[in-house]
């Protein structure tokens, strides 16, 4: 079997997964827009239904009539068509689509996607889309390699968008270099792989914790941490995409789940998280403790707001129940326990100690000393350590890509057990 190389990995050249898929093709104002005609023809040939959304400038490079003829659907450019009174809802488009492909994607459109600018129908559709998004850049080599463009592409990757890297070759400017939009045949080959999901966890049940806990001091104050839950939620989606049934115990975060295979239970405090985890743990094949659970909670909690006074406030803390340690104590035969360790010094040593002490099978280590890792961001840099103290170090990646790496390691361990 032949393979293609794109940003994100190797993909086999097979056109078998597009039949019946709803694909929005977004076309921005680039000379490479002429390739959209071939791209539509190939997608329709493989059984996909294609709707085209063009930016106003894209019409200067290829006519809507050509694309409408090939796609067998009206071409959408404006929010409102005064000729027939049609209103083009970007929300409805986002719900209809299985995939949004923006090809060609100019530097201007990519920059607006990153900034959240919504000044045309294509951009509002992008911001509304709940489906996967693939982006095929097309621009001159100096524009492509400009730090601003490279930063924007990295941000789109961190959002979970797929970047179909441009080719090297002769450009419209007469220069030669990287910036040519990938050929339509290769783009279709790439798209076909998006539905070749690994289902290597079908029949498995996963319990996962994510986010922080808040330990109440009084009705308006709490002890907490900077966890956003992004890593845990990315793991939940990855497990679900690979066939697992997922129970997600989430602390207070501003995130939503996408997969219907995820059952979400919201909690606030460490005590609440402990109760919910213990309720479900025995039912699960895999338990992942990704949450940043508070180690201490106030011994006394005030029922009213504590007022500022002249005297210092002494807050007495007591330990919370150690969820990972209790899971290790109760661990059933064949069950996998995975923990996380966020460290600032002696990272590997402290992670191994935690793995041993809490009877874990794997521990995922990240260090606050690594730029781009830890709380708050869209990227992470991890090292996975097993019971034999083997270390598997990964480069800085988006949290979605990190989730794939972690789940791959868990699947490998399942196959050995």
CA angle 184, 185, 189 (to 5 degrees): 115
- pLDDT-based confidence at residue 387 (cuts at 50, 70, 90): very high
Tell me the average pLDDT across 157-170: 84
251 close to 291: Cβ distance less than 8 angstroms: yes
The pLDDT assigned to 106 comes to 95
**Alpha helices, DSSP H, located in 179-336:** 184-193, 230-241, 270-280, 323-330
Reading the block at residue 172, the tokens are 């419209």
Is 51 known to sit in a ligand binding site? Answer: no
Reading the block at residue 396, the tokens are 């800085």
Q: Which range (12-16, 29-33, 389-393) has the least confidence?
A: 12-16
Percent of the chain whose pLDDT exceeds 70:
89
Question: CATH code for 205-294+319-416?
Answer: 3.40.50.10300
Is 204 known to sit in a ligand binding site? Answer: no
Q: How many helices (H) and strands (E) does the chain have?
A: 13, 25
pLDDT tens digits along 348-368: 999 999 999 999 999 999 877
pTM: 0.59
Query: Catalytic amino acids?
Result: 225
Is 310 known to sit in a ligand binding site? Answer: no
pLDDT tens digits along 255-275: 888 777 899 999 999 999 999
Reading the block at residue 128, the tokens are 């509304």
Domain coordinates in residue numbering, the chain: 3-193, 205-294+319-416
Question: Is the pLDDT confidence value at 234 over 80?
Answer: yes
Kindly state which CATH superfamily the domain 3-193 is placed in.
Flavin prenyltransferase-like (3.40.50.1950)
Helix (H) or strand (E) holding 90: helix 90-96
Is 305 known to sit in a ligand binding site? Answer: yes
Q: Which range (8-17, 80-89, 149-158, 207-216) has the least confidence?
A: 8-17
Is 354 known to sit in a ligand binding site? Answer: yes
Question: Is the pLDDT confidence value at 291 over 90?
Answer: yes
């Amino acid at each position: 079997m032949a393979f293609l190389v794109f940003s994100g990995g190797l993909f086999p050249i097979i056109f078998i997964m597009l039949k019946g898929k709803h694909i929005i093709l977004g076309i921005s104002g680039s000379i490479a827009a002429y390739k959209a005609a071939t791209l539509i023809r190939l997608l329709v040939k493989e059984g996909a239904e294609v709707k085209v959304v063009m930016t106003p400038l894209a019409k200067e490079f290829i006519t809507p009539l050509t694309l409408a003829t090939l796609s067998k659907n009206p071409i959408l450019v404006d929010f409102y068509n005064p000729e027939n009174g049609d209103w083009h809802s970007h929300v409805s488009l986002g719900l209809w689509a299985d995939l949004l492909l923006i090809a060609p994607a100019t530097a201007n459109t990519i920059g607006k996607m990153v900034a959240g600018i919504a000044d045309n129908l294509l951009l509002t559709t992008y911001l509304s889309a709940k489906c996967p998004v693939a982006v095929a850049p097309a621009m001159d080599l100096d524009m492509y390699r400009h730090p601003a463009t490279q930063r924007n592409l990295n941000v789109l990757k961190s959002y979970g968008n797929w970047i179909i890297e441009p080719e090297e070759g002769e450009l419209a400017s007469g220069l030669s270099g990287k910036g040519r939009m990938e050929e339509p045949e290769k783009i279709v080959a790439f798209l076909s792989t998006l539905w070749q999901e690994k289902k290597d966890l079908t029949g498995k049940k996963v319990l996962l914790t994510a986010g922080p806990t808040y330990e109440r001091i009084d009705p308006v104050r709490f002890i907490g941490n900077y966890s956003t839950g992004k890593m845990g939620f990315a793991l939940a989606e990855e497990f679900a995409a690979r066939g697992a049934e997922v129970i997600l115990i989430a602390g207070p975060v501003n995130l939503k789940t996408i997969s219907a295979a995820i059952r979400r239970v919201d909690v606030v405090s460490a005590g609440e998280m402990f109760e919910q985890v213990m309720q479900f743990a025995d039912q699960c094949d895999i338990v992942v403790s990704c949450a940043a659970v508070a180690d201490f909670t106030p011994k006394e909690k005030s029922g009213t707001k504590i007022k500022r006074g002249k005297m210092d406030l002494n807050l007495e803390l007591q330990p919370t129940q150690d969820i990972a340690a209790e899971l290790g104590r109760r661990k059933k035969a064949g069950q996998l326990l995975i923990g996380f360790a966020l460290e600032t010094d002696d990272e590997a040593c402290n992670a191994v100690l935690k793995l041993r002490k809490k009877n874990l099978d794997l521990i995922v280590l990240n260090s606050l000393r690594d730029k781009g890792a830890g709380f708050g961001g869209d990227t992470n840099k991890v090292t996975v350590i097993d019971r034999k103290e083997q270390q598997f170090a990964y480069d800085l990646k988006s949290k979605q890509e990190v989730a794939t790496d972690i789940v791959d390691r868990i699947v490998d361990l399942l196959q050995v057990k």
